[in-house]
Amino acid sequence: MTPRRGLRGATERGAGDRGSALVEMAFVLPLLCMLTFGIIEFGLAWGDKLTVQTAVRAGVRVGSADGTLATADKSVLLGVGAVLHDLGLANVDRVLVYKSVTTDGAVPTACLTPSPHSVSGSCNLYTGAQLAQVVAGTAPVSWFGCGVGSLDLSWCPTSRQSIQALGNDYIGIQVTARHQMVTGFFGSVRTLEDHGVMRLEPTES
C-alpha cells in the first residue's frame, strides 16, 4: 500500500508542477512577445533613421559641391532622394535647404515657425511629393532657376556666397520622414528627422 500512496503523491505533484508551469508561461509569454516585437520594431526604426542621416549627408555634400549653380537645389533633392528610395519617398514629409548661421548648424527659427516654410534669404522648403516628382523626372522646369514662382527663389542658389575671401556660406539640409511601425504595439508611426551642414566649396572669385 505504501508504494501506491507514493506513486499517487508523485503523480499529484507532477500534475501540480505542470499546472504551475502553465501559469508561469501565461505570465512570461506576453512579456517575451513584447520584447521580441520591440526589438524588431525599434531595429527597423533605427535602420530607417540611419537612412535619413545618410540622405542628409548626401544632400549637404551635393549642395556644397554645386555651390552657386542655379540647379544646386535640384541636385540636392536628387542626392537626397536617391538614398531615401530605401525608406520610400511616400514616407518623406519635407526637405529643407537652409542657410546656416549658427555654430551648431540648427535650422533658422523663422523657417520652422509657425510651421516649416520658405523664408526669403534663409531657406527653401520642398515637400515629400515635390521630392518624388524631382526624383521621377516629372518636376516642372520652372521649379528651379530662381525665376518668378520657383521653389528655390527664397534662398536662391546663385545668391549664395562661395568666394573664399568673403567668407563662404554654410548650406544646411534637414530631412523629415516617417517610419511605419509593423506590429502596432508601439504606435503606428514614428517621426524621423535629421539635419547636417557643410560649407560651400570655396572659389577664388
Q: What string of pLDDT tens digits covers the 205 residues of the chain? A: 455 555 555 555 555 566 676 777 777 777 777 777 777 888 888 999 999 999 999 999 999 999 999 999 999 999 999 999 989 999 999 999 999 998 789 999 999 999 999 999 999 999 999 999 999 999 999 999 999 999 999 999 999 998 887 888 999 999 999 998 877 777 788 999 999 999 999 887 6
What integer pLDDT is reported at residue 167 of this predicted model? Answer: 83
Range of the domain at 8: 2-199
Q: Measure the CA angle with vertex 18, ends 15 and 23; round to 5°.
A: 125
SS3 189: strand
* 19, three cell numbers: 499546472
Q: Is residue 142 part of a domain?
A: yes
How many residues appear in the chain?
205
Sheet strand arrangement including 189-199: 123-127, 92-100, 170-180, 189-199
What integer pLDDT is reported at residue 16 of this predicted model? Answer: 56
Q: How far apart are CA 168 and CA 162, in angstroms?
A: 5
Alpha-carbon dihedral of residues 144, 146, 150, 151, nearest 10 degrees?
70
Indicate whether this model's pTM tops 0.85. no
DSSP 107-130: PPHHHHSSSS--BTTTEEEEEHHH
The structural domain count of the chain equals: 1
What integer pLDDT is reported at residue 10 of this predicted model? Answer: 53
Q: Is residue 109 part of a domain?
A: yes
Q: Is residue 183 part of a domain?
A: yes
What integer pLDDT is reported at residue 18 of this predicted model? Answer: 66
Q: Is residue 204 part of a domain?
A: no
Q: State the number of CA atoms in the 13 A half-sphere of 60 facing the CB.
A: 22
Q: Is residue 205 part of a domain?
A: no
Amino acid (one-letter) located at 111: C
